[in-house]
């Protein structure tokens, strides 16, 4: 029971601290819309981002069961940790907070007559989300470790949090940067554990693969 609670907490933390780039893109796209469309664009954009993560993460969870992919996934997750470290150093959450606040302010951003449809804005957001989903997918798939229920529940809760409190979350991460550093430590722990299992797992580890080919 405690393991599941710990796993849910890890997934939620990972999803929230890795959502800064999504929030930045969504805020920037929304700010380019007429003011009356922005709140819907932010809401729909956050939901699209979260749903894509669930779909990709469920697929990744299944793929990590194939021989050798756990090891490769651990290396990619270390890369995600490096990217997150750079984002923390560059204060990405503050930039995302500013972008969202600008989008939510009817007097900021683009204020002229509608020149872009909601559909075109959501297409732009979806394309950006697809290209930026790898970090979230790897992190939550590794934490879930094959437990699809944990994966869907954890990301489902993150959907609700990001869809309805994105600006507040970015403010929180900006004001208390230690939360992002804590999240980085969690991801480093997950990546290290994944790396160890990627080498030693009797079914899918590199030792088993190398041993089976000799």
Taking only the tens place, the pLDDT of each residue in 2-49 is 666 777 777 777 777 777 777 777 777 777 777 777 778 877 887 777
Mean pLDDT of the chain: 75
0.95 exceeded by the pTM? Answer: no
| Radius of gyration of the chain, Cα coordinates, nearest whole angstrom | 19
Q: Residue 149 has what pLDDT?
A: 75
Q: Residue 205 has what pLDDT?
A: 64
Q: Residue 198 has what pLDDT?
A: 74
Taking only the tens place, the pLDDT of each residue in 120-140 is 778 877 777 776 666 777 777
pLDDT surpasses 70 at 60: yes
CA distance 121 to 129: 12
CA distance 214 to 48: 46
pLDDT surpasses 70 at 164: no
pLDDT-based confidence at residue 186 (cuts at 50, 70, 90) = confident
CA distance 195 to 207: 12
Structure tokens at 144: 């879930």
Given a contact cutoff of 8 angstroms between Cβ atoms, the answer to whether 38 and 211 are in contact is no
Residue of 53, 209, 29, 32 lying closest to 129 (CA atoms) = 53
Structure tokens at 166: 């994105």
Roughly what angle, to the nearest 10 degrees, separates helices 148-175 and 92-104? 90
Count of beta carbons in the 10 Å neighbourhood of residue 129: 24
């Amino acid at each position: 029971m405690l393991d599941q609670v710990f796993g849910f907490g890890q997934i939620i933390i990972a999803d929230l601290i890795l959502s800064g780039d999504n929030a930045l893109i969504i805020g920037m796209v929304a700010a380019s819309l007429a003011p009356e469309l922005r709140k819907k664009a932010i809401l729909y954009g956050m939901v699209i981002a979260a749903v894509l993560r669930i779909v990709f993460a469920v697929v990744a969870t299944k793929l990590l069961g194939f021989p050798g992919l756990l090891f490769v996934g651990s290396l990619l997750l270390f890369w995600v940790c490096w990217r997150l470290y750079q984002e923390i150093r560059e204060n990405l959450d503050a930039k995302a907070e500013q972008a969202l606040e600008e989008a939510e302010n009817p007097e900021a951003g683009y204020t002229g007559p509608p020149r872009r449809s909601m559909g075109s804005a959501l297409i732009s957001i979806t394309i950006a989300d697809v290209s930026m989903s790898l970090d979230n997918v790897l992190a939550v798939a590794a934490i879930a470790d094959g437990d699809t229920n944990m994966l869907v529940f954890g990301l489902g809760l993150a959907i609700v949090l990001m869809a309805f409190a994105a600006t507040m979350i970015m403010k929180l991460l900006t004001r208390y940067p230690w939360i992002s550093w804590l999240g980085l430590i969690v991801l480093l722990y997950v990546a290290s554990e994944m790396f160890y299992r990627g080498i030693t797992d009797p079914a899918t580890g590199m030792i088993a693969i190398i041993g089976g080919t000799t």
